[in-house]
Amino acid sequence: MKPILVVCTILLAFTACKQHKDPNPAVIDLTYQQTDIQKQFDTLYNHQQADSGVYSGLIEQALAICHDSTGKGGAITQDVFSSMYYNLHSKQYDCVTTTVFQLPDGSISAIGSFNLTPGDTIAPDHDFPVTGGSGTYHHIAGTYTRKYRDGVYHVKLSYYKTDQQ
């Protein structure tokens, strides 16, 4: 009887901690182009190369001026920090990226990972979980989606308020 009580208590605790997911999340659509990006790459390990033109690791810092699809969103920037380490086994960079969108009424942050082939200059399309925010976006969850098509980066921030207050 005692194990059943423990299991029920654990299930009740998980149910209480589960965040409410809104079936109709708020969406912010943004775009930017290569000319909107200020970028800085730093090589790690004193420029050690794993192969010709392939570094052991890179850090990328980029700031992009984003354009709101409605045209009335005010100044919006995307601040990106990526650590890229060359994986000798896969022959690709293992990348971990933190992205923060600065909006007029707060910020939205997301973290994710992807693989990048040496020589590629554009990260693959990705969906990263929104990890939080500030201001209007305090206590949110959701998804940051980025797709690259015909020279334009398309960003969709889909989010909802969590039950945390």
Q: How far is CA 14 from CA 11, 19, 22, in A?
A: 5, 10, 18
Strands 49-51, 54-55: pairing is antiparallel
How far are the Cα atoms of 17, 32, 131 from residue 84, in angstroms, in the given order?
Answer: 34, 23, 20
Buried b (16+ CB within 10 A) or exposed e, 67-99: bbeeeebeebbbebebbbbbeeeeebbebebeb
State how many domains the chain has.
1
CB contact at 8 A, 102 and 28: no
pLDDT in tens, 47-106: 677 777 777 788 889 999 999 876 666 789 999 999 988 898 999 999 999 999 999 999
Handedness of CA 151, 43, 144, 106 (dihedral sign): negative
Q: Would residue 63 count as lying in a domain?
A: yes
CATH number, domain with residue 64: 2.40.480.10
pLDDT of 103 reads 93
> What mean pLDDT do residues 136-156 have?
96
pLDDT average, residue stretch 109-130: 94
Q: How many residues does the chain have?
A: 165
- Examine residue 9 and state whether it is found in any structural domain, yes or no: no
Domain contains 12: no
Within a domain: 76: yes
Asked if the structure places residue 88 within a domain, the reply is yes
What is the residue range of 108's domain? 22-161
Would you say residue 135 lies in a domain? yes
Residue-wise pLDDT for 15-60, tens only, equals 334 445 556 899 999 999 999 999 887 776 566 777 777 777 888 8
Helix ranges (H only) for 34-149 are none
In a domain, 49, yes or no: yes
Q: Is 31 among the domain residues?
A: yes
